[in-house]
C-alpha cells in the first residue's frame, strides 16, 4: 500500500474507532492488505462530514524549527476545515522536521503514527507540500498550500505583474512596464502567464510571457479592447474577449496565437471567458438580457445559453471550478457593492459566499476546488483574500507593502 494511502486510512480510522485501528495496524504489520474497500466504505469520511456539518478538525502542529513552525501554522490557519490548537487534545498532530531541503512529516491520531519524507524544490516548498499531504490524508481532497500565485501589485504607483507563493513570500516582479496591467492567468504547466497590458500601444493588448526565459510575445493586439485571456485546461488554446469587430465578442485561438476563431456574433457585449474543467465549454459574461449575466456555450462555438443564477441584476467575472463542473464562482452586485457568489448547476441555485465590509470581486478557484482567491475593495485600497467556500471564512494573504493587490490567480505544480 502506498504511504499516502496508509496515512489517509490511519487518520480516518483513528478518528472513527479503536477496534478499526487495531484491525488496520494488525493487517499492515502482517503485510496482507493492499486494498480494503469494504472497510473503507463503512467508515465515516472526514471530508464529507465537514462539508455537511461545517465542522472543523483540530490539529496541533510541531516543528523543531521556528520558521517552519510559523509557516505551517499560518498555512493551516487559512484552511477553513482545520482549527489550529496549541494546547489540549487535538484530533490530528503533525510534526514537520526539516532534513536539508526536505521535510520529515509525522502524523499522529489517537496513538496511531505514520511518517513520510516530503521533498520539493526548496525547504519552503517542502513545508507547504507536506501541509498539502496532511490535507489529503484528512479530507481525501487535494491541498492548495503549495500554490504559486500571480497577481497585480501597485507598490510605487504603477501596476505590475508579480508572482509569489501562497503566503506571499518569494515575491518576484514579472513586468516593469510602468503601465496599466490586468488579469494575469497561468498556463496549466506553470511556465507561462497571459495577461493584458497597455504598455506598448497605450491600449489594452494581450501578451504571454515565459517565466523561465522572460520572453514576452504579443497574443492579441487588434484595434479596440483585447482582454480576459485564459488558457484551456490542456494549455493548447486561449479564450479571450476582443472588440475589434465593433463590440466585445468571445474568441478562441491556439496558445501561440494562430487559428483565431470567433465564437459569439451578436450586438451584446461579452467578456471574461472561463473554461470548464474538461475544456469543452466556456462560461462568460454577456449583457444580452440587458444587464450583465452569466452565459455558457461550447468551446467550439454554437448557441449560447443564459445560466439562471437568479441572485442579482449584475453577475460577472465567472470562474469555473477546476474540480467540480457543477460549481461556478462569480461576482454579483448587492446593495452595498459586490460580493462573491457560487452557482451550483446540480441544484440550479446560487448562494453568496463572501461577506466583506467593502466589495468582493474577481473570484478565482484554487487547486482544491474548495477555496477561492478574490480581491477585496475597501475605500481606495485593494487586497487579495482567500475564502473557504464551505465555512465562509476569509482572510487577507499579505501586508500593505505591495500597495494595492488585485487580479489574483493560482497554479498548482504537478509532481
Positions in the chain short of pLDDT 50: 1-53
Q: Does the predicted model carry a pTM greater than 0.85?
A: yes
Q: Give the pLDDT of residue 47.
A: 37
pLDDT digits (tens, 9 = 90+) for 221-262: 999 999 999 999 999 999 999 999 889 999 999 999 999 999
| Rounded Cα distance, 182 and 306, in Å | 26
Residue 133 burial (CB count, 10 A)? 22
Q: Which domains does the chain have, with CATH numbers?
A: 3-139 (3.90.950), 148-411 (2.120.10.30)
Beta strands of 257-368 (E only): which ranges? 261-262, 270-275, 281-286, 293-298, 305-306, 315-320, 327-334, 337-344, 349-352, 359-365
* Displacement of CA 156 from its chain's centroid (Å): 27
pLDDT digits (tens, 9 = 90+) for 27-82: 222 222 222 222 122 222 333 433 333 578 999 999 999 999 999 999 999 999 99
Contact between 90 and 58 under an 8 Å Cβ cutoff? The reply is: yes
Q: Give the pLDDT of residue 17.
A: 38
Amino acid at each position: 500500500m502506498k504511504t499516502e494511502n496508509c496515512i489517509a486510512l490511519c487518520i480516518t480510522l483513528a478518528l472513527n474507532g479503536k477496534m478499526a485501528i487495531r484491525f488496520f495496524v494488525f493487517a499492515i504489520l502482517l503485510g496482507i492488505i493492499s486494498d480494503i474497500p469494504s472497510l473503507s466504505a463503512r467508515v465515516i469520511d472526514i471530508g464529507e462530514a465537514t462539508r455537511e456539518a461545517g465542522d472543523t478538525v483540530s490539529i496541533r502542529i510541531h516543528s523543531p524549527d521556528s520558521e517552519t513552525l510559523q509557516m505551517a501554522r499560518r498555512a493551516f490557519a487559512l484552511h477553513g476545515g482545520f482549527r489550529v490548537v496549541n494546547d489540549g487534545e487535538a484530533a490530528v498532530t503533525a510534526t514537520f522536521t526539516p532534513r536539508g531541503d526536505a521535510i520529515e512529516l509525522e502524523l499522529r491520531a489517537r496513538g496511531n503514527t505514520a511518517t513520510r519524507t516530503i521533498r520539493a524544490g526548496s525547504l519552503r516548498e517542502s513545508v507547504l507540500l507536506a501541509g498539502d499531504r496532511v490535507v489529503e490524508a484528512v479530507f481525501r481532497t487535494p491541498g492548495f498550500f503549495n500554490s504559486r500565485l500571480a497577481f497585480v501589485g501597485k507598490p510605487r504607483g504603477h501596476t505590475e505583474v508579480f508572482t509569489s507563493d501562497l503566503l506571499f513570500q518569494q515575491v518576484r516582479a514579472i513586468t516593469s512596464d510602468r503601465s496599466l496591467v490586468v488579469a494575469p492567468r497561468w498556463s496549466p504547466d506553470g511556465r507561462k502567464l497571459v495577461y493584458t497590458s497597455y504598455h506598448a500601444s497605450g491600449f489594452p493588448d494581450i501578451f504571454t510571457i515565459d517565466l523561465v526565459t522572460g520572453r514576452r510575445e504579443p497574443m492579441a493586439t487588434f484595434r479596440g479592447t483585447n482582454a480576459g485571456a485564459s488558457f484551456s485546461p490542456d494549455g493548447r488554446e486561449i479564450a479571450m474577449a476582443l472588440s475589434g469587430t465593433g463590440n466585445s465578442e468571445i474568441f478562441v485561438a491556439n496558445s501561440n496565437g494562430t487559428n483565431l476563431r470567433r465564437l459569439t456574433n451578436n450586438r451584446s457585449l461579452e467578456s471574461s471567458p472561463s473554461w470548464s474543467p474538461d475544456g469543452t465549454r466556456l462560461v462568460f459574461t454577456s449583457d444580452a438580457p440587458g444587464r450583465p449575466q452569466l452565459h455558457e456555450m461550447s468551446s467550439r462555438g454554437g448557441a449560447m445559453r443564459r445560466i439562471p443564477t437568479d441572485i442579482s441584476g449584475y453577475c460577472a467575472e465567472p470562474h469555473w471550478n477546476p474540480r467540480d463542473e457543477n460549481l461556478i464562482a462569480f461576482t454579483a452586485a448587492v446593495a452595498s457593492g459586490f460580493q462573491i457568489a457560487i452557482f451550483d448547476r446540480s441544484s440550479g441555485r446560487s448562494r453568496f459566499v463572501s461577506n466583506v465590509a467593502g466589495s468582493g470581486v474577481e473570484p478565482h478557484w484554487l487547486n482544491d476546488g474548495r477555496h477561492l482567491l478574490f480581491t477585496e475593495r475597501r475605500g481606495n485600497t485593494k487586497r487579495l483574500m482567500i475564502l473557504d467556500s464551505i465555512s465562509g471564512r476569509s482572510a487577507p494573504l499579505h501586508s500593505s507593502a505591495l500597495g494595492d493587490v488585485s487580479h489574483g490567480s493560482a497554479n498548482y505544480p504537478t509532481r
